[in-house]
A and B are shown apart, each in its own frame.
Chain A
Amino acid sequence: MGLRWMLVGLSLLLVLCVSPAAAETITVASTTSTENSGLFAWILPMVLEKTGVEVRPVAVGTGQAIRMARRGDADVLFVHDRASEEAFVAEGYGVKRHPVMYNDYIVVGPKDDPAGIRGMKDVGAALKQIATAQAPFTSRGDDSGTHKAELRLWKGAGVDPRPASGSWYKETGQGQGATLNVASGMDAYMFVDRGTWISFKNRGDLELLVEGDPLLFNQYGVILVSSEKHPHVKARAGQAFIDWLISGEGQQAIGAFRVEGQPLFTPNYSPATPGP
């Protein structure tokens, strides 16, 4: 008898669970920095109100987001690695890349700063000092936009940290927040984007140590996935989302976003030039 009622209850749940949503929804492959910082929670209700499009963001690393879009599992790609974004468009998977906004990267590390990098303005020199001191450094090691930016900086600094992988250079293979938890647990240095840092709560003894180098600039781009490659892509709704992002209103909304009173993203779309 109990079982029979359980079946009835579960069948009701089945009906509730599979009823589809009414508004036109698109899937946006994006990064942990935009989702975890709360930017999406801030702008998506405005997008829904203005365009009638319900955006469903899937937050993964830039590398995984691009592979997802390439397979046709997203309508729009919203990431931060210019080189791979341009390759995505050049290979015909994307329609056009629009620069939307930027934020910046910083280097955080333990309060007692064993490598002595606090306040340095040259991020390359700071990394070199960390390597020389063999101070613990956590890297995402997950092919994300942040990871790629970090590797470019190591290269620019003339240091190859990979042979040290497993000793002072620790690759977690996880997202920004998960890796920050590791850094905070073992008092390690880490290269991280400011948005994630500001909204991150488990800092332990970590502090912001290096910021302001122009090399730490982090540009975001948005791309509609090509309907020629993937005919099921919701091109109209996807384009409406992009048009709103680069409109005066969308740009203003991005600039007005605050976490703990601090602006995180600076809108910088410009129609005249292809942008940074």
Chain B
Amino acid sequence: MQSLGDAFRAAFGLVVSLDPDLIEIVSLSLSVSGVSLLLASLVGLPAGAGLALVRFPGRRAAIVVVNAAMGLPPVVVGLLVYLLLSRSGPLGELGWLFTARAMVIAQFLLITPIVAALSRQVVEDLWVEYADQLSSLGAGPLRAIPTLLWDARFSLLTTVLAGFGRAIGEVGAVIIVGGNIAHATRVMTTAITLETRKGDLALALGLGLVLLTLSLGINALAAGVREFGARWEG
């Protein structure tokens, strides 16, 4: 059995040598999950705020469904996207299977519910504070959505980070729709899976450490942005 020390050495060696394969894999991980997050935020944030503010029949049911969808199993989402994009499937014409786009679609489906459900909660709480003020200014719920999203932006950062964390750490969906193709669709998590299968546990764990460090860095950056923003606003 290889020791944890080997894993740290492997991780350190990869980072210090700026291994070109590692850089390629990390960039693809970041761009796929970044794009998924961008799209998921464009849909999920307004949807979450809408669920918080707009009263419509079936709203409670919709909230339950969105909350439940936070727990979508990645493998199931991967299979659904595979069947959609397969040449024999309804969107086969696009030829997107085994590309980064397929991975973006899968991650988008996985994290949009997370962004929507968490932002609904944040906006709903804020609405309790703001309701009287905004109503007295004559702003209805729909008009209030952009204001509330903007005012809650630092709290929503955590929401968005939760989505990003799920996207970048997920392997079940991207390995099915991406295929883990070297230099094309290999990301951090699928590379870790591959090294585990090859029995190179030290390298696998080393890659895992790089991923963890990266996550930590992104979260620290976000915390910094929030701190800075809070001070800027006074």
Q: Which of B89, B157, B197, B226 has the most CB of A within 10 A?
A: B197
Q: Flag the segment in A55-63, A80-88, A141-149 that touches B.
A: A55-63
Docked-complex contact A57 and B86, CB < 8 angstroms: no
Q: Can you list 11 pairs linking A and B with CB atoms under 8 Å apart?
A: A1-B229, A2-B228, A3-B157, A7-B38, A13-B34, A14-B34, A58-B98, A59-B180, A200-B198, A200-B199, A230-B87
> Is B110 among interface residues, defined by CB-CB distance under 8 A?
no
> Is A175 among interface residues, defined by CB-CB distance under 8 A?
yes
Residues from 70 to 92 in B contacting A, C-beta threshold 8 Å? 86-89, 92
Residues from 29 to 45 in B contacting A, C-beta threshold 8 Å? 30-32, 34-35, 37-38
Docked-complex contact A178 and B232, CB < 8 angstroms: no
Residues from 31 to 55 in A contacting B, C-beta threshold 8 Å? 32, 36, 40-41
> Is B196 among interface residues, defined by CB-CB distance under 8 A?
yes
Q: Tell me the bound Cα distance from A21 to B32 in angstroms.
A: 16
> Is A219 among interface residues, defined by CB-CB distance under 8 A?
no
Chain A residues whose C-beta falls within 8 Å of the C-beta of B179 in the assembled complex: 27, 56, 58
Chain A residues whose C-beta falls within 8 Å of the C-beta of B95 in the assembled complex: 232
Contact string against B for A residues 64-80, beta-carbon threshold 8 Å, 1 for contact and 0 otherwise: 00000001110000000
Chain B residues whose C-beta falls within 8 Å of the C-beta of A252 in the assembled complex: none
Docked-complex contact A36 and B197, CB < 8 angstroms: yes
Q: Tell me the bound Cα distance from A178 to B201 in angstroms.
A: 11
Chain B residues whose C-beta falls within 8 Å of the C-beta of A232 in the assembled complex: 87, 95
A14-B38, A180-B199 given as contacts; is B104 within 8 A of A72 (CB)?
no
Chain B residues whose C-beta falls within 8 Å of the C-beta of A200 in the assembled complex: 198-199
Chain B interface, DSSP helix/strand/loop, else mixed: helix
> Is A10 among interface residues, defined by CB-CB distance under 8 A?
yes
Chain A contact-residue range equals 35 or more
Chain B residues whose C-beta falls within 8 Å of the C-beta of A14 in the assembled complex: 31, 34-35, 38
- Nearest CB of B to A186, in Å: 13
> Is B128 among interface residues, defined by CB-CB distance under 8 A?
no
Q: Flag the segment in A111-119, A162-170, A201-209 that touches B.
A: A201-209
Docked-complex contact A176 and B182, CB < 8 angstroms: no
> Is A22 among interface residues, defined by CB-CB distance under 8 A?
no
Chain B residues whose C-beta falls within 8 Å of the C-beta of A57 in the assembled complex: 181-182
Docked-complex contact B200 and A204, CB < 8 angstroms: no
Docked-complex contact A1 and B35, CB < 8 angstroms: no
> Is B166 among interface residues, defined by CB-CB distance under 8 A?
no
Chain A residues whose C-beta falls within 8 Å of the C-beta of B199 in the assembled complex: 177, 180-181, 184, 200-203
> Is A272 among interface residues, defined by CB-CB distance under 8 A?
no
Which residues does B use to contact A, with CB under 8 Å?
Answer: 1-2, 28, 30-32, 34-35, 37-38, 86-89, 92, 95, 97-98, 100-101, 104, 153, 157, 179-182, 184, 194, 196-202, 225-226, 228-229, 232
Docked-complex contact A204 and B1, CB < 8 angstroms: yes
Q: A17-B100, A202-B1 are in contact. List 17 more A-B contacts (CB 8 A).
A: A1-B229, A3-B153, A13-B35, A13-B38, A17-B34, A17-B35, A32-B197, A36-B194, A36-B198, A40-B182, A56-B98, A58-B179, A71-B88, A71-B89, A178-B197, A199-B198, A202-B199
Which residues does A use to contact B, with CB under 8 Å?
Answer: 1-3, 7, 9-11, 13-14, 16-18, 21, 25, 27, 32, 36, 40-41, 56-59, 71-73, 175-178, 180-181, 184, 199-204, 230, 232
- Nearest CB of B to A14, in Å: 5
Closest chain B residue to A14 by CB distance? B35
Chain B residues whose C-beta falls within 8 Å of the C-beta of A201 in the assembled complex: 2, 198-202
Chain B residues whose C-beta falls within 8 Å of the C-beta of A21 in the assembled complex: 184
A59-B180, A176-B197, A184-B199 given as contacts; is B35 within 8 A of A72 (CB)?
no
Q: Tell me the bound Cα distance from A180 to B196 in angstroms.
A: 10
Closest chain A residue to B103 by CB distance? A17
Closest chain B residue to A18 by CB distance? B101
Docked-complex contact A11 and B38, CB < 8 angstroms: yes
Chain B residues whose C-beta falls within 8 Å of the C-beta of A9 in the assembled complex: 34
Q: Tell me the bound Cα distance from A123 to B177 in angstroms.
A: 38
A10-B38, A17-B35, A56-B184 given as contacts; is B198 within 8 A of A177 (CB)?
yes
